[in-house]
Structure 1
Amino acid sequence: MQKLFKSKILKLISISILVVTLVISSAIAYTIRHSWPQESGKITLPGLQAQVEVQRDQLGIPHIYAQNTHDLFMAQGYIHAQDRFWQMDFWRHIGSGRLAEMFGQSQLNTDKFLRTLGWARVAQTEIQQMDTETRNILQAYADGINTYLADHQNSALSLEYAVLKLLNPNYKPEPWQLLHTLTWGKVMSYDLGDNLDTEIERSILLKTLTSQQVDQLIPPYPADHPVVVGHGGQGGHVGQRRQRGDLSSLSPPTPHTLSLAFGRGDGIGSNNWVISGQRTATGKPILANDPHLGVQMPSIWHEVGLHCLPKTAACPYDVAGFSFPGMAGVIIGHNDRISWGVTNLEADVMDLFIEKINPNNPNQYEVNGKWVDMELLTENIQVAGSQSVAQTVRYTRHGPIISDTFAPVKNFHQTAGINLPANYALALRWTALEPSTLASAIVKINLSQNWQEFRAGVRDFDVPAQNFVYADIDGNIGYQMPGKIPVRKSGDGRYPVPGWTDEFEWQEYIQFEKLPTVFNPESGYIVTANNAVIGKDYPYLISSEWDYGFRAQRIAEMIAAKKNSITVADVEKMQVDNKNLIAENIVPILLQIPFSNSRLEKVQHLLVGWDFQQNSDSTAGAIFAAFWKHLLADTFADQLPQGYLPTGSSRWFAVIRELVKQPNSNWWDNYKTPVVENRDQIFQQAFAEAVDELEGSLSKDTSRWHWGNLHTVTFRNQTLGKSGIAPIEALFNRGPFPSAGGSSIVNATGWNAAKDYTVVSLPSMRMIVDLANWDNSVAIQTTGQSGHAFHRHYDDMIQPWRQFKYHPMLWQPEKVASNAAKSLMLIP
């Protein structure tokens, strides 16, 4: 009887647990699913002027068909909000320095720094100066977002809000404003700009190194690597010229206060190139682009088609490609006549000014022998779960004082090797802290029908400064560099400069007509990969910090080797090429070095015959990467500050390429040992350490050594995916996945050799456009169209991206219709 009773009790408990589990599971499933967007049927949208159709393909890529401009961009805003509102909400809080409103005290220091920069104040000025057409488009876009918000709140917007509700129960998203779109450009400018970091690094290295040693670690751009444009910046082709000055592509660790906010990492950059019809199988150009950005979930890109039906003077848009959630229009793509691609210029548009501060008044600074009052602005920072915090931002004629809030320069006098006044502060002059015309540039580029109109549109793309490649259906190809590039009275922007005189002032910006450009070069192709744009004959300083051109060199090699009849399939292979040029340079040296240990000899022999392709399944690729990491550490760790150890970026490719030619250089010697080491000894040491590491982390069985086992990518939600709470991270993150490629490889999956092999930056999307047939164009991005965890389009592009597969970029209406998986009608 007792056993029967216990049996019934256990049965009841089991049933109860099952019921509770089912209820919880159902609740979770409901919470997850009820934020997913409606993709078919009909939705009434107040404010629409006419019916809009949205057709989505099997990957959830929408093509929007509207009868007027207002409805087209209102619908884009609505669709962006459907798919990515959490991402948009988060980015606008970065742009305005309001992260603590969402995430509380942990983001207060980040907000203080962002409020110091004052992007929102700059954006307000831009709104006042904006042309009517752009303002109307951005307002229609905002109206679309707000129409969606009117019917969706909290977890109905995204799963993240259900989690945030537990941490910050009072948070409610506010309506979208034009301001929020404009600050997006500022955030991207910060994400793409690293010459502030390099200025700081040079100064810190001078504390312990001579200026000659600093120049060796930050060497000139290689004379044998390509520049984009020759002949004084007007016309020319990829050639071999030396750029003056010291050049660097360093991306030091992001300050800890910004770790939540930004995806900056080693390897931020991009590839793009355009090949004219004289080299292609169709006789028409092919254009390729793959922007390299920090790893994130969801992707930074949202693929979309924006079409006026019919296309008229009143509704002139017919464009497809990649947009940013939060910004109207298409950033990279093509319309019915032209295509364009973008890479980061690496321009030097940030200068640190050392300001002399009045010892009797911290709000005064010296200008030409006189004390001048700073402009003081008070910021009120709302903090979730706590009281608001008042902050005073000090402004000089050069810009805000950042040494109050920017961690790397708070104790600059203790770390830097440059002369500083007894009472000083550091002010930042930066083009992104001045009004920009970026939004109008995107509108004009989307509308451009030829080279002249394209250049007129690109002229407004002032911040962040970029490299644009161009092609049109008439067979033309071109390159144009836009951007605000300062002309300094003196100095080269490499070190912080005195701010108390006029000696280092910015006098003007280089006139657009004098910026580098090329149209239909004789070579039949144009390549940009963050490498030097111009040679020594160009009269202005654009940068001392180019990428060192290894990717550009490899791309140019592949195009030149193919010669003629190049196809989209050929360009696909180029875009995912994994050849490691520094391995090609130093592995032959390593193979000549004797090892008395048979174990090491066997591993060394595995490098014989390697084609230097760092494929995911490559054993040699894993061996070389481990050797490279230890080689950099064994060579430089004894002389460099902890925060500035070699990352393995293209700069270190250039350093090592020269250093191996000097086998007895002092750099090889480890100052911490009594003996004087040379190159071969350090090679032996690094190789032995690499083998030990691989045996310890992978296996003693070398057949299990694969580069992808070390070099993995995990796509992390930028906010809750980095919470440190495993169950929450499991909801939003995907990975790790084995990855091919590496730093300064065309397939640029960057990793930081000072840390580990984890992918920190990557080709965030790949696009190849066929000017002979738009429907033959292909693309892929890293994660998927959706920002909703567990939605089928949240991660359905990860495997194709990893496996170097592409999907068609649909264009003709009949192609879009025949491939439509969902069709949604938006009704006035």
Structure 2
Amino acid sequence: MNLFKKLLKIVLLLLVVLSVGVWLFTKTLHPTYKGELKLTAISNQVTVYYDEVGVPHINAQNQQDAYTALGYVHAQDRLWQMELIRRIAAGRLAEVFGKDLVRTDKFFSGLGIEEAAEKTIRELDKNSEAYKLTAAYLNGINQFIEEGPKPLEFYLVGLDKEKYTIKDLYNVFGYMAFSFAIAHKTDPLLTEIKEKLGEAYFNELNNSTSENLTKIKNFKNRELEASFAKAINVVMDKLPISPFIGSNSWVIAPPKTKNGKVIFANDPHIAFSQPSVWYQSHIKTPDYEMYGFNLALIPFPLLGHNRDYAYGLTMFENDDVDFYYEKDNPENALEYKTPNGYEKYKLIEKRIKIKGEKDTVYKVKISKHGPIINDLIDFVNDERPIAMQWIYTKFKNEMLRVSYEMSHATSLQDFKKAATKIHAPGLNVMYGDAKGNVAWFAAAKLYKYRDSLNTKIILNGASGKDEIQEYLPFKENPQAENPSWNYVYSANNQPDSIAGMLYPGYYLPEDRAKRIESLLEAKNNFSKNDVAKMIYDVTSPTAPDIIKNLLKSIDENELTASEKRAMHILQNWGGYYGKKEVAPVIYTRLWYAFVKNTFKDEMGAAFEQFVNTPLEEKAVASQAKRKESVWWDNIKTTAVETKKDIVTQSFKETINFLQKQLGENVENWYWKRVTTVEYEHAIGKAGGLLRTFFNVGPFETHGGDQVINNQIHKIDSTGYYKIHAGPSTRRVIDFSDIENSIGILPTGQSGNVFSSYYKDQAQKYLDGEFVKMSLNEAAIKKSSNKLVFVPKE
């Protein structure tokens, strides 16, 4: 017994020692928010005040010092995020996560992003301020790499720290540009529908993209496979870093505000992740000040404001990717047909390093249109070579200069000049200033084909007839400056055109745009609080119309008591996605059943690539209005189904499903019972204790898909809706009270799990609350967290 007691004491002592050791080790991984550190390549002391949510307010005597400090503090909070995002475009994820990421690496490394970056870097003006400040920022990051602690994630995956270069920065721009693209999912699917089902099926879907539009006003029969679209989904689903999706923004001119000053609002929609996408920073020097939101590895904020102006972004959603069927030479597979005879493909050899395994090597064939996608994706079943033409790789990338000039503009005209340099991705650039100016610019390199060409299908690469004929000057881009209606806005919806044409794109449904317009038109005395309430709005103006168009096809006499009750709830719904609303549950499930019963019989395997796309969302609104449609008939039955048959079947399936899922009591089918949001860390996705430690959530949430507070989810057979994307930040800047402008992040400022700022904003974000984005120097200096950088001798 004594021996047992002694052994027990030894074991307990070892556990205590181990626990203390682990605790002491983790203490070394904490970010440094106070004290003094030495930095090379700074000429004067730099003081960083961390506010109550961990935003660094950087005070320096010059911008060179400020950006060096920014690099250091950004890295200590977000180095893991920086590491992942720089690896995507370079095809280096498999080095970290193993063979499961080889397909993703193969695809991204073959897109030409790195080659475009190398070309751009060779042509950079190394004497420009943009380049010098970027070098200072990278120097700050690399000093943290040398002297700061390695993040916990690096230990867990066995990764060594590696210094950063300007090429890594351009790879981030490349990934950002690609993640906006939606053509990869839409064009191949529409091509298959046209080729295998015929013109009637194709035309109904294709025409739905030009119906039910709220346009931004300017001032001035074989089963489908969808292997291509499926392959893209597989590649994108593996990404450990959030893709960009959508956004809202509106800027209200003085005549429509209570205090006679501009009010600016912006909430970019991006796939949720942990850490949050944006890193906030506030830089102040004798000649410069900017409160900005930075992407990982980007020194100049893409969203920002100061006392003089504010700016932000949404996705333009223009079509900047086109696909071509190339025709190989039957005598030589390394040549392809052109109007001038056969030309040789350019060949590039790529190597992918795989954790724990041998490298894999592959070759990319490149035609004049771009890389052959068949070589990049393993299971594209089409035997015809498909080339991807992407505007991003066709022109010089000036996004570094653009982001510098937008964040250093001194007037609206300066800012506009910066916007004209954007070629891809297409962005709606929003602007408002203290002088009362408001503006919106759809910034992208726009182009025209011959009039009869439909760019939503894969084009003929061999004919020479499907080539770009003309690039449009920026003055013909959709835009508005100080319009007579006293506001500008964008919600990824179809813009009207100064050029007399609707520029093709993959614009999102009109829901959010229609709601924003209706709210902005309703009053002329907006306050900051009004706009803060509006940015959290969860009412859909289009859902009640879709319901009305569907339910009138149902004979109420054919319904059970529960079905009648559910029908009445839908009929009386105003489109509000509250947590305790029942109608959103019925509507969302009815949406899925209606889409399934309308399209799945013809689409077959391609159906899963059709749902949850802008094409599907637009098609539902149009299909709900149609009395006649080639899609109504279920080709797998002998009968010829009508709209009444499809809608009635869908409604009855919906109620039956929900009774089994949520119980017989219709009144208890709350929206909060089927929706959750969880902010997933790349390592937390593994589940178990890692999920609990790294992920933030799950939580109940407020909102739904395509309302202003956009809680984006997939609609599928499960009946549960996991929110995977939404506002990556909410910002409201009121120039009548500029020092008290407000913003919020979904989780927190830091990506370091040991930081007190890792998830401190999560509940406030979910509740529609905000924190102050302070510019007041006296208030900032009251912070108890003060980090001082001094020059290293």
- TM-score tier by shorter-chain length is over 0.9
Q: Which residue of 2 aligns with 1:827?
A: 790
Kept in 1, the 8 Å contact 2:69–2:137? The answer is yes
Paired position in structure 2 for 1:49? 43
Work out the CA distance in 2 between the residues paired with 1:218 and 1:371: 34
For residues 759 and 229 of structure 2, the distance between their equivalents in structure 1, rounded to whole angstroms, comes to: 28
Describe the shift of the 1:215–1:737 C-alpha distance in structure 2 as closer, same or farther (beyond 3 A).
farther
Distance in 1 of aligned mates of 2:593 and 2:617: 14
Contact 2:91 2:108 in 1 (8 A): yes
Q: 2:237 aligns with which of 246, 251, 259?
A: 259
The aligned amino acid for 2:447 is P
Q: Where does 1:703-782 land on structure 2 (aligned, <5 Å)? A: 703-717=667-681, 719-723=682-686, 725-754=687-716, 756-782=720-746
Structure 2 counterpart of 1:580, one-letter code: S
Shift of the 359–466 alpha-carbon distance from structure 1 to 2, 3 Å rule, reads: same
Q: Answer yes or no: is the 8 Å Cα contact 2:84–2:241 preserved in 1.
A: no
1:641-720 matched pairs, under 5 angstroms = 641-645=604-608, 646-647=610-611, 651-663=615-627, 665-717=629-681, 719-720=682-683
In the other structure, the counterpart of 2:225 is: none
Per the alignment, residue 324 of structure 1 pairs with: 295
Cα distance in structure 2, aligned partners of 1:145 and 1:619: 50
Give the aligned partner of residue 515 of structure 2: 554
**Whole-angstrom distance in 2 between the partners of 1:225 and 1:541:** 11
Is the alpha carbon distance of 1:500 and 1:320 closer, same or farther for their aligned partners in structure 2, counting shifts above 3 Å? same
Query: 2:209·2:619 contact (CA, 8 Å) conserved in 1?
Result: no
Q: 2:213 aligns with which of 225, 232, 236?
A: 225
> CA–CA distance in 1 between the matches of 2:372 and 2:651?
46
1:255 partner amino acid: N
Residue equivalent to 2:279: 302
With structure 1 as the length reference, what TM-score do the two structures score? Answer: 0.89
Contact 2:308 2:433 in 1 (8 A): yes
Q: C-alpha separation between the residues in 1 aligned to 2:595 and 2:494?
A: 25
Q: Which amino acid aligns with 1:469?
A: M
Distance 2:236 2:428 in 1: 27
Three-state SS of the structure 1 residue aligned to 2:601 is coil
Residue 634 of structure 1 corresponds to which residue in structure 2? Answer: 597
The alignment status of 1:600 with 2:566, answered yes or no, reads: no
Q: CA deviation at 1:556?
A: 0.3
Q: Measured at CA, do residues 512 and 658 of structure 1 come closer, stay the same or move farther in structure 2, by a change above 3 Å?
A: closer
AA matched with 1:301:
W
**Are 2:67 and 1:73 equivalent residues in the alignment?**
yes
Give CA deviations for 1:78-111 in whole Å, capped at 9, x if unaligned: 1110100001011111121111222222222222
* CA distance in 2: counterparts of 1:803 and 1:252, whole angstroms: 36
Match in the other structure for 1:282: 259
Q: Which structure 1 segments of 5+ residues have no match?
A: 166-170, 237-249, 312-316, 414-423
Distance 1:40 1:631, change over 3 A: same
Return the match for 2:199 from 180, 189, 211. Answer: 211
Deviation at 1:462, TM superposition (A): 2.4
Letter in 2 for 1:610: W
Query: Could you tell which deviates more after superposition, 23-32 or 46-55?
Result: 23-32
Q: In structure 2, what is the equivalent of residue 157 of structure 1?
A: 150
C-alpha distance in 1, partners of 2:501/2:167? 34
Distance in 2, Cα, partners of 1:29 & 1:458? 49
Deviation at 1:625, TM superposition (A): 1.9
2:151 corresponds to which letter in structure 1? Answer: S
Amino acid at match of 1:452: Q
Q: 1:26 to 1:374 in 2, by over 3 A?
A: same
CA distance in 2, matches of 1:751, 1:431: 29
Aligned residues: 774
**Which amino acid in 2 is paired with 1:184?**
V
Contact kept? 1:710, 1:738, Cα under 8 Å: no
- Which amino acid in structure 2 is aligned with residue 145 of structure 1? I
Paired residues of 1:582 and 1:653 also in contact (CA < 8 A): no
CA contact (8 A) 1:142 1:177 kept: yes
Mean CA deviation greater in 328-337 or 180-189:
328-337
User: Which residue of the partner structure matches residue 491 of structure 2?
Assistant: 529
Once superposed, what is the RMSD of the aligned Cα atoms?
2.5
Match of 2:531 among 562, 566, 571: 571
Amino acid at match of 2:365: R
Pair 432,543 (structure 1): closer, same or farther in 2 beyond 3 Å = same
Contact 1:632–1:648 (CA under 8 A) maintained in structure 2: no
For residue 292 of structure 1, what is the aligned residue in structure 2?
269
Separation (CA, whole Å) in 1 of partners of 2:65 and 2:124: 20
Tell me if the contact between 2:189 and 2:229 (Cα under 8 Å) persists in the aligned partners: no
Q: Tell me if 1:143 matches 2:139.
A: yes
The 1:121/1:31 distance shift into structure 2, 3 A limit, reads farther
Q: Report the equivalent of 1:417.
A: none
- Any gaps of 5 or more consecutive residues in structure 2? 221-227
Alpha carbons 1:96, 1:118 under 8 Å: kept: no
Distance in 1 (CA, whole Å) between partners of 2:21 and 2:188 is 51
1:367 corresponds to: 338
In 2 relative to 1, CA 649–392 (structure 1 residues): closer, same or farther, beyond 3 Å?
closer
Report if the CA contact (8 A) 2:242-2:277 is conserved: no
Cα distance in 1 for residues equivalent to 2:230 and 2:731: 29
Q: What's 2:476 paired with?
A: 514
When residues 669 and 47 of structure 1 are mapped into structure 2, their CA distance, relative to the original with a 3 A threshold, is same
State the distance in 2 between where 1:30 and 1:213 align.
65
Q: Distance in 1 between matches of 2:337 and 2:629?
A: 45
Letter paired with 2:156: V
Change (3 A) 1:547 1:648: same
- Identity across matched positions, percent: 27
Instruction: State the Cα distance separating 1:404 from its structure 2 match.
Output: 0.7
Aligned pair in 2 of structure 1 residues 32, 616: CA closer, same or farther (>3 Å)?
Answer: farther
How far the C-alpha of 1:489 sits from its partner, in A, is: 5.1
How many Å separate the matches in 2 of 1:663 and 1:355? 40
Q: Tell me if the contact between 2:262 and 2:436 (Cα under 8 Å) persists in the aligned partners.
A: yes
In 1, Cα distance between equivalents of 2:25 and 2:205: 53
Aligned to 2:541: 581
2:47 pairs with 1:59: no
CA displacement 1:583-603 (0-9 Å, x = unmatched)? 211334538741532232333
Structure 2 residue aligned with 1:94? 88
Q: Which residue of 2 aligns with 1:241?
A: none
Quick check: 1:663–1:680 contact (8 Å CA) kept in 2? no
- Per the TM alignment, residue 51 of structure 1 is displaced from its structure 2 partner at its CA by 0.8
The change in CA–CA distance for 1:635 and 1:387 in structure 2 (over 3 A counts) is same
2:348 equivalent to 1:387: no
Give matches, 1:159-558, under 5 Å.
159-165=152-158, 171-221=159-209, 225-230=213-218, 235=219, 254-261=232-239, 268-308=245-285, 310-311=286-287, 317-407=288-378, 410-413=380-383, 424-434=384-394, 435-488=396-449, 491-535=453-497, 538-539=499-500, 542-558=503-519
Distance 2:46 2:643 in 1: 67
Is the deviation greater in 622-631 or in 65-74?
622-631
**Distance in 1 between residues matched to 2:581 and 2:362, nearest whole Å:** 53
| Distance in 1 of aligned mates of 2:433 and 2:575 | 36
Partner of 2:223: none
CA contact (8 A) 1:280 1:566 kept: yes
Instruction: Please tell me whether the aligned partners of residues 86 and 157 of structure 1 are also in contact (alpha carbons under 8 angstroms).
Output: no
Q: Deviations over 1:492-531 (max 9, x none)?
A: 4222222224322234432223322211111111121111
Q: Which amino acid aligns with 2:531?
A: V
Q: Does the Cα contact within 8 Å between 2:201 and 2:630 map onto a contact in 1?
A: no
